[in-house]
Amino acid sequence: MKLARRRVLRLTTGAAALAAVSRSSRAYSYPTKPVRLLVPVPPGGTFDIVGRLIAHWLSEHLGRQFVVENRPGAGTSLGTGVVAHSAPDGYTLLIDGSPAAINATLYKDLDFDFRRDIAPVAGIERLPLIVAVNPSLSVESLPQFISYAKVNSSKINMGSGGIGSTGQVAGELFNMMAGLNLIDVPYRGEAPALTDLLRGQVQIVFTTAGSAIGFIKAGTLRALAVTSAKRMGALPDIPTVAETLPGYEAFAWSGIGAPAGTPPEIIETLNRVTNAALADTRFRSRLAALGATAMPGSPADFGKFIASEIVKWAKVIKFAHIKV
C-alpha cells in the first residue's frame, strides 16, 4: 500500500513539474511569429499613435514584429469584436480604451461582451480632456461658465466627437454634476467639432489635450479647466474641473487587451514588457508630448480599472439618455 501511494505521489509530482515546465517553455518561446495588434480607430489620432508606440517597443523587446492593423467602425466595436472572436493564443491583440468601456452600455446588440470576451493585459496611458470655449463667450473661468449656463439654460451647444465619444460622456457627466442642460451636438469626430468651436457654431467642447493645446496657446480657444484629478504639467495655470465640482474626473485612456482564455503566462509576458516601456524615460516623454501620462500596473489592476469605468459611464449614459 505504501509503495503504491509513493508511486502515485511521484507520478503526481512529476506531472505537476512537467506542466510547469511546459508553461514556462511556452512563455519563454512567445512570440514565435508576428503578432497582430488591432487598433480600432483610423490612423493618425492619439489612440493610433499610442498603439504604434507600444507596438514598436514590443517588437524591439520580444524579438518579433507586432503589426498594427487599423480596424475602425462602430465606435471601436468593430475591431474589438474581431479580437473577441480570435483564437486566444497571444497572436491577435487589441489596443482597447475608454470607448470600449462606454460601448459596453451604449450598444445593445453587440455579438460580444467586452467584460467577458476581452482579457485585460496592461494599461498604457491616460489622456485628460480640456474644457474649451470660444473666446467670444463672456466667461473667464469655469464657475463663471456654470453661472452663465444656468441663466442661459438649453441655449448653449456642446460639440462632441460623436455619440458615445469620451468627450460627449465627459460633457454629460459635467451636466449631471453641475445641474446644467448643455445641448450635445455630435460630429463625425473631434476635429470637426473643434472647427465649429473655432467658428463659434458651438460654445464648448470637451476635447483631448493634444488636439486643443495649440489653439489654446495661440489664443483662438480658451481653456476653462482640465478633467484630470490633478492639473496638467503642460497647462499648470488651468484649474481642474474638480476644483469647482469636487469628485469630477474624466479622461481618455488606452491599454492592451487579448481574447479571453489567452494563457496567463503570455499575458504576464506582455504586461511585464509593457510596464518596462512605461518605466522608460524616453517612452514616457513620448506620452507626455501627447498630453498623456503612463498607466502602469498588473493585469488585475487594469481589469479593476476597466470595471470601474464601465460602471461610471453606464450611470452617465442612463442619466443623459444617450442612444446610438
Which range, 27-31, 229-233, 297-301, has the best average confidence (pLDDT)?
297-301
Amino acid identity at 147:
S
- pLDDT average, residue stretch 105-117: 94
List where CATH 3.40.190.10 sits in the chain: 128-243
Give the three-state DSSP class for 12. helix
pLDDT over 70 at 171, yes or no:
yes
Pairing status of strand 293-294 against strand 118-133: antiparallel
User: Which residue has 509513493 as its cell numbers?
Assistant: 6
Interior CA angle at 128 toward 195 and 102, to 5°?
85
- pLDDT average, residue stretch 107-130: 95
What's the maximum distance between 2 C-alpha atoms anywhere in the chain?
A: 91
- pLDDT average, residue stretch 45-67: 96
The pLDDT confidence band at residue 215, using thresholds 50, 70 and 90, is very high
The pLDDT confidence band at residue 20, using thresholds 50, 70 and 90, is very low
CA distances from 189 to 35, 161, 171, 175, 193 (A): 29, 4, 15, 21, 7
**How would CATH label the architecture of 128-243?**
3-Layer(aba) Sandwich (3.40)
Buried-exposed string 181-217: b where 16+ CB fall within 10 A, e elsewhere: ebebbbbeebeebbebbbeeebbbbbbbbbbbbebbe
- pLDDT average, residue stretch 189-218: 92
Cell, residue 301: 489592476
pLDDT over 50 at 201, yes or no:
yes
Pairing status of strand 204-208 against strand 35-39: unpaired
List where CATH 3.40.190.150 sits in the chain: 33-126+252-320
Interior CA angle at 76 toward 264 and 65, to 5°?
50
Could you give the CA distance from residue 264 to residue 278 in angstroms, rounded to a whole number?
A: 21
Could you give the CA distance from residue 188 to residue 226 in angstroms, rounded to a whole number?
A: 23
pLDDT computed for residue 45 by the predictor = 83
The pLDDT confidence band at residue 211, using thresholds 50, 70 and 90, is confident
For residues 190 and 208, the answer to whether their CB atoms sit within 8 Å is yes
Q: Where are the alpha helices (DSSP H) in 221-293?
A: 264-279, 281-289
pLDDT computed for residue 19 by the predictor = 47
Following CA atoms 91, 256, 312, 289 in sequence, which dihedral angle do they give, to the nearest 10 degrees? -150
The pLDDT confidence band at residue 213, using thresholds 50, 70 and 90, is confident
Percent share of the chain, pLDDT over 70: 91
Per residue in 226-280, pLDDT (tens digit) is: 999 999 888 899 999 999 999 999 999 999 999 999 999 999 999 999 999 999 9
Could you give the CA distance from residue 243 to residue 229 in angstroms, rounded to a whole number?
A: 9
pLDDT computed for residue 233 by the predictor = 84
Per residue in 132-164, pLDDT (tens digit) is: 999 999 899 999 999 999 999 888 999 999 999
Pairing status of strand 118-133 against strand 222-226: antiparallel
Topology, domain 33-126+252-320: D-Maltodextrin-Binding Protein; domain 2 (3.40.190)
